[in-house]
Amino acid sequence: MSFDLLKTVEYGGCSAKLPPDQLTDALAGLTHTKHERLLVDINTHDDAGVWKLTDDIALIQTTDFFPPICSDPYEFGQIAAANSLSDVYAMGGKPINALNIVMFPQNRIGLDVLKEILRGGIDKVNESGAVIVGGHTIDDYPPKYGLAVTGIVHPDDLTTNAAARAGDFLILTKAIGTGAIVAGHRIEEGTENGYRQALESMKQLNSAGAEVMKKHKVRSATDITGFSLLGHAMKMAKASNVSFRIFAKDVPLLDDAYRLVEMGCIPGASFRNQRFAEEHCNFENGMDYNLKMLLFDPQTSGGLLFAVSEENVESALRDLHEHDNLQAAIIGRVEKKKSHMLYICK
Ligand code: CO
Ligand code: CO
């Protein structure tokens, strides 16, 4: 397909989210109705809302959509769908169905491009075992695509932002750096190999991560998207009332990401994430600047970050590697709450 979707946007993917500090301000003071069946609401900044239907089944409901993150429409559809489905996996659930959310400029881009985006979405939803049940389209530029997803989980298997315990280890299931790599691709400074690797990573479902979490009785997880590894880790530490120690050198990086950041390919959203999270972070003296900026790099369809007991951490990591999460790594440890939410060791 010759139409380059990336040319329609300045910020694509999850880096088009509203800046986290502005979002916090916008939500401040709004009242949220409590309900006895609402197991997870907006208060813990979790990935999805969870509604208890019966003692054995809870509904997970979430939506994500964004402007293009890559050049090819089919791949954009796959990535946007994988990203939307990810919030169900981050809660330990299984997606069952989804609605398309589409904004598309009918007079500016051919409908064949829209068809390819939707085909990518359908294929990814099928791969997850869920089905598309409908959707909604609006004429708008630049194009945006995503899903509203419904998943299910047994209430006992639910994983939330708010259940990490001191002593747990932190596992991240995908490498980071998609923001820097897409920025590099846009100005033709990145390698083809690095770009392809980032696309494959963004397309990968977090389904294996959710299965591994269930098997190893994980209680606390999130997925890493636009607010960066440190931004999402911070939300999890805060909701769990603990501090995290992150071992920066153990955080898996996509090929080429470090080189691009060193060249100055740092997306604007990285600085917004830094502004939001840095006061809650304690960086060890002598921290490498490029690595630090990668820890603030906005991810699109990033991996799961979960807290697992010492007893289960090695087997969980082995299972992830066996299920094609080849770059999954132990990147930190949960500690008792201290003055900062995150302690980052170089
Ligand atoms: Co999420
Ligand atoms: Co989300």
Tens digit of pLDDT per residue, the chain (346 long)?
568 999 898 877 888 888 878 888 998 888 888 899 999 888 778 889 999 999 999 999 999 999 999 999 999 999 999 999 999 999 999 999 999 999 999 999 999 999 999 999 999 999 999 999 999 999 999 999 999 999 999 999 999 999 999 999 999 999 999 999 999 999 999 999 999 999 999 999 999 999 999 999 999 999 999 999 999 999 999 999 999 999 999 999 999 999 999 999 999 999 999 999 999 999 999 999 999 999 999 999 999 999 999 999 999 999 999 999 999 999 999 999 999 999 999 9
Distance 250 CA to ligand 2 centre (A): 25
Answer whether residue 162 is part of any domain.
no
The pLDDT value given to residue 1: 52
* Burial profile 214-224: b = 16 or more Cβ within 10 angstroms, e = fewer: bebebbbbbbb
Residues 188 and 110 in one domain: no
Cα(178)–Cα(196) distance, rounded to whole angstroms?
A: 11
Distance 206 CA to ligand 2 centre (A): 13
Answer whether residue 236 is part of any domain.
yes
Residues 201 and 252 in one domain: yes
The pLDDT value given to residue 27: 87
Distance 234 CA to ligand 1 centre (A): 13
Domain tally, the chain? 2
* Cross-strand partners of 66: 145
Asked if residues 163 and 144 have their Cβ atoms less than 8 Å apart, the reply is no
The pLDDT value given to residue 43: 79
What would the two tokens of residue 225 be?
């998207």
The pLDDT value given to residue 97: 98
Distance 210 CA to ligand 1 centre (A): 13
Q: Is there a catalytic annotation at residue 14?
A: yes
17: domain CATH number is 3.30.1330.10
Q: Which of 157, 189, 217 is the last residue of a domain?
A: 157
Q: Is the peptide bond before 73 cis (omega within 30 degrees of 0)?
A: no
pTM beyond 0.85: yes
Residues 152 and 174 in one domain: no
Answer whether residue 164 is part of any domain.
no
Domain of residue 130: give its range. Answer: 5-157
Ion ligand 2 contact residues with beta carbon within 5 A: 64, 87
Residues 51 and 183 in one domain: no
Identify which ligand lies nearest to the alpha carbon of 17.
2
Q: Which of 122, 157, 192 is the last residue of a domain?
A: 157
Judged by DSSP in three states, 60 sits in strand
Q: Which of 123, 157, 191 is the last residue of a domain?
A: 157
Strands 220-223 vs 38-40: parallel, antiparallel or unpaired? unpaired
Distance 3 CA to ligand 1 centre (A): 29
What would the two tokens of residue 87 be?
């919030």
Distance 284 CA to ligand 2 centre (A): 30
Identify which ligand lies nearest to the alpha carbon of 146.
2
Residues 249 and 271 in one domain: yes
Identify which ligand lies nearest to the alpha carbon of 232.
1
C-alpha closest to that of 172 among 316, 331, 279, 52 = 331
338: domain CATH number is 3.90.650.10
Identify which ligand lies nearest to the alpha carbon of 14.
2
Residues 74 and 148 in one domain: yes
Catalytic choice (14, 70, 265, 281): 14
Distance 110 CA to ligand 1 centre (A): 31
Torsion of CA 244, 245, 248, 249, to 10 degrees: -130
